[in-house]
């Protein structure tokens, strides 16, 4: 059961729980940034940013933020898994 999801496990330490809560907060913030009333602020075709409409750039930036959040969480979990493998015989 080593690969079971531990996201809401009661056996997490304080530091682990904080990391998972932070990741959850980032995803909730991204979700809220993509729905009304926040998204209509950026929903226009003009102005253009890097040659694409601001609304598209806004969505791409939030998708990039979610990607880097998941990547960071994955690397953090892998580092913890490697450290726990070194301790166990």
Q: Pick from 16-20, 21-25, 45-49 the range whose average pLDDT is largest.
A: 21-25
Cite the beta strand spans of the chain per DSSP E.
48-49, 52-53
Q: Is the pLDDT of residue 6 over 90?
A: no
Q: Is the pLDDT of residue 5 over 70?
A: no
pLDDT classification of 27: cutoffs 50, 70, 90: very high
Phi and psi at residue 56, to the nearest 5°: -70, -40
Averaged over 13-23, what is the pLDDT? 86
d(CA 43, CA 3): 40
**Hey, what are 31's tokens?**
């979700």
Residue 6's closest CA among 65, 60, 80, 63?
80
Q: Is the pTM of this model over 0.95?
A: no
pLDDT classification of 68: cutoffs 50, 70, 90: very high
């Amino acid at each position: 059961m080593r690969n079971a999801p531990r996201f809401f496990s009661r056996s997490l330490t304080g530091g682990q729980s904080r990391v998972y809560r932070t990741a959850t907060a980032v995803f909730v913030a991204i979700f809220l940034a993509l729905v009304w009333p926040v998204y209509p602020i950026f929903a226009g075709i003009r102005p253009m940013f890097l040659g694409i409409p601001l609304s598209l750039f806004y969505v791409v930036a939030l998708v990039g933020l979610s990607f880097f959040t998941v990547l960071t969480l994955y690397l953090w979990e892998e580092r913890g898994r490697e450290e726990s493998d070194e301790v166990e015989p």
